[in-house]
Amino acid sequence: MIDLSLFDLVLVFGLILLAAGLIRIIGVGGERDLLIAALRMIGQLLLVGYTLHLVFAIESAAPVLLVLLIMGGLAVHTVAARIRTRMPKLYRVVATAMLAGCGGTTLFFCYLVIGLDPWYDPRYLIPLTGMIIGNSMTGASLAAERLSEEIRNRRDEIETALCLGATARQACGDLLKVAFQAALIPTVNAMAAMGIVFLPGMMTGQILSGTEPMTAVKYQIAIMCVITGSVAVTSFLILLQGYRSFFTADDQLLNIESITRTKVKKP
């Protein structure tokens, strides 16, 4: 694989400066945010690179599990921070859903499909887990946000259904369908365009590293199947737990004050 020198990286960073210059010329603002984001990206990736280099050298399960734990915790926090209309018990709902959805599909792929040996092999486990979690975060955010927003906007409709004898599940049936469909849209669109409109990152990276193209294709097909399963399971569990968090044990809708709006923090 062709290595990149420091000078090469300086050259490509010039494209960031070009983008910032165009933003200033047009006058839309935001060039400072772009530069800060680019510098954060560089710092974070360098930190990850040195950390993974150390983890690979240690060859022990403990640091691998620690990295996965940090990744999962940051993912839960990021998903929760993106959601503008909050649901009760948000962090617990997101954490349990991502643990089951992302964790379950990762275990399935790494141990039943690939058959990692040793089971904690960081060269496979860490990047594959990162791809699965990263792609599932979008679906989780969309599911939670859409569910909370729909319940907030259609509160009167839900209470009417409850007064007519419907259960909480029946009153929220349509809302759950809408939220689940919204959560899957980005993944479905990505699969539909993959290979024709764009070459995905994992496949491109493997080809650049010298992997035979058909091997890279098979890995990309496999990981997209796993990602789709992870998004579906994670979103489903968020919706299953999430709608119940808006109701009491007697199927009474909580007060509107408990469904609050928060300002989304910048990543």
263 belongs to a structural domain: no
Residues 49, 159, single domain; the answer is no
Q: Which of 81, 186, 175 is nearest to 136 (CA)?
A: 186
Residues 189, 96, single domain; the answer is yes
Query: What DSSP state is assigned to residue 212?
Result: -
For residue 195, CA distances in Å to 69, 130, 209, 217 come to 33, 22, 19, 9
Residues 25, 70, single domain; the answer is no
pTM here is: 0.82
Q: What is the pLDDT along the chain (267 residues), one digit of tens a residue?
A: 677 888 999 999 999 999 999 988 988 888 899 999 999 999 989 998 898 888 888 888 999 999 999 999 999 999 988 888 778 888 999 999 999 999 999 999 999 998 888 888 988 899 899 999 999 999 999 999 999 888 888 888 888 888 888 888 888 888 999 999 999 999 999 888 887 777 777 777 777 777 788 888 888 899 999 999 999 999 999 999 988 888 888 778 876 555 555 544 444
Residues 47, 126, single domain; the answer is no
Q: Which of 146, 129, 6 is nearest to 72 (CA)?
A: 129
Residues 100, 220, single domain; the answer is yes
Domain residues for the domain of 27 are 1-58
Residues 177, 205, single domain; the answer is yes
Residues 179, 218, single domain; the answer is yes
What amino acid occupies position 177? K
Domains held by the chain: number: 2
Residues in CB range of 68: below 8 A, 6 or more apart:
125, 126, 129
267 belongs to a structural domain: no
Residues 14, 106, single domain; the answer is no
Residues 35, 140, single domain; the answer is no
Place of tokens 């979103």: 235
